[in-house]
Structure formats: C-alpha cells, structure tokens
Chains A and B, each alone.
Chain A
C-alpha cells in the first residue's frame, strides 16, 4: 500500500527526531522553570507598591505569552496544512490547541488571583484579561470543531480553516477590546506591567518564559506521539475488521 507508506514516512522520521529532542527539552524545561521559580520567589525583591503579590507575575505573564504563542504556532501549522497538506502539521496544530487552552486557563486563574489583592476583586474587565478570555473562547471553539467530525481528516481541515480565520481576527479583537476598555476606563485600575519594568524583575521573567516554551515543546511531543500511536491502533483495528469480513 504505497499511500499508507507515504502517510507514515514523515511520521516515522518525526518519531526518530522527537526521540532525540524530547529528553533535552524535558531537562531544559525542568531546569529553567526550577531556576526561574527560585529566582522569582526567593531572590527578587518585593515590589514597592504590590509587595510579594507581584510574584504571581512570573507565572501569569509567561502563561499569557504562551497562550498567544500557541495560537500563532497553530495558525502557522494550519496554513501549511491547508496549502501543502502535510499530515504532521495537522497533527501538531491539533495537539497545540489543548496546550494553548491550558496556558490560557493558567493565565486567567493567576490573573484573577493577582487581581484580588491589587484590584480588590477576582475579576476586572481589564483589556488584557478580557483579551485572554476571548482567546480562551477561540481555543474552545477550535477544540470543539476538530472533535466534532466522525472523519478525523475532515475535523482537521475544518479546524485549520477556523484557526486561520481566528488568527486574522485576533488582532482586530485585541484592538477592539482595548478600544472598548479605554471608553470604560475605571479609575482604580493599576497597570499590570508598566513599560518601566526593572531588570531585576525582567530577567527571571525571561527565564520563566524560556522554561514555559521548553515545557510547551515537551507537551507537544508527548501529545503528537500519543496521537500517532492512537492512529496506528486505528489502522490495525481496521485491518482486523477487514480480515474478519
């Protein structure tokens, strides 16, 4: 069956490459996140205004970055899947969605936990937080659509179109939310991260962001590998059914 071979050729290569990349990414993720956490929680001085609560930032901000990064990766992969019909791109795009949604959830939860001491409320309709919420909805729609078809390939292509449409819309949505927010600016809002971030805070933040990125790669590889195995099981099951007939 040449077609089957063709479809497995690049996944097989992927398996080989991922076997090499995986341990490095895992070590990198653990090391960077570990260092970053110790740095941020122990060594960084407390903020002169917010005190120790500012340390939520070291999880919140990288998570928010990752939530957008994952969507961008998903959109690029979706475009390449729609144009070149590369099966692995579809796989990776779909594997990215739940990871991105998880980062978005982390950003929302930490954002609201941070909001309680700074704003006095768990939820403030602040432009950044609201944009992240809308991004969360986009992830939900993408995941729901890609799982809504009995035919896996159909779901992948529909979800890819949606991801591209979402990526085109995302800047418009972000712009509109900021526009809306300036119209309704409440007086008490503190800026979460002003343009003047001190370098003692910036470095651990960047370390955390790098750690989160490595963590994303780890999760992505795990998800793609398990999905590939699930497909292989499906092929074998189909084979058995065909032999049974």
Chain B
C-alpha cells in the first residue's frame, strides 16, 4: 500500500501548497454561505430554519469547484500515464486521488460546518446529525465527483460540464444528509438516515473506482 499512501500524500501536499485548491475551496465555501443572509435577510428564525440546507448545498458546490483539476494536471504533464503503469490497479489510483480530494475539501468543510451553523443560528439539536451526515456524505461527493472529472478529460469546456454531469448524481447524498437533520429537529430517530447516507457512500466506492478508471483509460487512449 505504500504506492497508495505516496500518491495520497503527494496530492494533499500539492493542494495545500500556496495557491492550492484547499484554501480556495474553503474560501469559496465560507463566502458562499455568507451570501445567504444578504440574499434572504438576517432574520435569525428564517436563517435557522434553512441553515442546514444552506450548508449542505454549499458543500456540494464546494466539492464541484475543485474537481476540474483532480485529474487534468496529471493528464497534461504526463503523470497520469505513469500512474496508470504502476503495478497498483488504476481503480486504486482513482480511490487514492478521491481520498486526497476529500482530505483537502470535504474534511475541512465538515470541520467548518459547526462554525457556519453558529453564524446561521442553526438549532443546537441539528449539529450532531449535520456533522455526521457531512462526514459520511462528503467522501461520496469526492467519489461521484471523480467520475465526472475523469469523464470530461479532453472535452471542450470540461470545467463547466462537470457540474452538469455530477450535480444530479449528488441529489441522494444531499437528501439523506438533510433528512437526518430534519429527523433530529422533529424528534425522530436519526440513525436510519445516517445509515442510508453511509450506504450511499458504500455504493459510490466501487462505482467511482470502476467508472473513473474506465474514463481515465479512455482519456489516455
């Protein structure tokens, strides 16, 4: 597994360098959330009611923003050929890159979510399901996003396409994440929602590995 960890570490290091995606994505996440009070007004009651929805939808968008560069740079500088020629299966290469993407986007978003919740007057009951939901949902966003990012390699206007391809596929992640919060607020059991969110993540793992590797082979052809 040392090739796997080497790749994860390289991608994390690349994204956290000055001008890397990590800081940009987080900035995007915070600024976009800060726009909502301007858009709907600062009424604490209204904000509190839609806070979880705002955070979740913005987390989806933040995942999209950094996807375009997930494979593109490696394709352009020839790294992708070498990644594909390693004894490690290309499917694992895709998963390593997804893990790195999550570590620099989904994980910080999850950790920042309580702060954002505070600013948006989120109900105290909602914090735990929101954060657990994000912790399970954001890896799925990276995985499903990787399918889109690998499919648009070599396409004209690739970056703009990713959102169109991936956002509809994000809907289940969003719905089960939010429904956990709603259940908590309604005093209903949260666990079923969390379990289904986890199931979505489990389904995304092989889907991203195989579809992503197939699309990468296509891009290198």
Contact = CB atoms under 8 A, between A and B. Distances in A.
- Do A and B touch each other in the complex, judged by CB within 8 A? yes
Interface of A: 82, 134, 137-138, 140-141, 144-145, 148-151, 154-155, 157-158, 161-162, 164-166, 168-169, 172-173, 175-177, 179-180, 183
Contacts of B151: 145, 158, 161-162
Given A82-B214, A161-B151, A165-B207, A148 B176 contact: no
A128 to B, nearest CB: 15
B6 interface: no
A109 to B, nearest CB: 20
B200 A158 contact: no
Contact of A173 (B168, B179, B218): B168
B200 A180 contact: no
A177 to B, nearest CB: 7
A155 B172 CA distance: 27
Contact of B161 (A82, A134, A144, A179): A144
Contact of B155 (A134, A140, A148, A173): A148
A168 B207 contact: yes
Interface of B: 147, 151-152, 154-158, 161, 164-165, 167-169, 171-172, 175-176, 178-179, 182, 196, 200, 203, 207, 211, 214-215, 218, 221
A141 B176 contact: no
A173 B172 contact: yes
Given A154-B154, A162-B151, A183-B182, A138 B215 contact: no
A165 B25 CA distance: 26
Contacts of B178: 180
A177 B179 CA distance: 11
Contacts of A158: 151-152, 155, 215, 218
A68 B105 CA distance: 35
A172 B172 contact: yes
Given A134-B171, A158-B215, A172 B203 contact: yes
Contacts of A149: 154-156
A144 B175 CA distance: 25
B161 A138 contact: no
A126 to B, nearest CB: 15
B154 A165 contact: no
Contact of B169 (A140, A144, A165): A165
Query: 9 shortest A-B CB distances, which residue pairs?
Result: A148-B155, A176-B172, A137-B168, A176-B175, A141-B165, A180-B175, A141-B164, A158-B151, A172-B172
A134 B175 contact: no
Which of A162, A169, A173 has the largest count of B CB atoms less than 10 A from its CB?
A169
B218 A161 contact: yes
A136 to B, nearest CB: 9
A177 B169 CA distance: 12
Contacts of A168: 203, 207
22 contacts: A141-B164, A141-B165, A141-B168, A144-B161, A145-B155, A148-B152, A148-B156, A149-B154, A149-B156, A154-B218, A158-B152, A158-B215, A158-B218, A161-B211, A161-B214, A164-B211, A168-B207, A169-B172, A172-B200, A176-B172, A177-B171, A177-B175
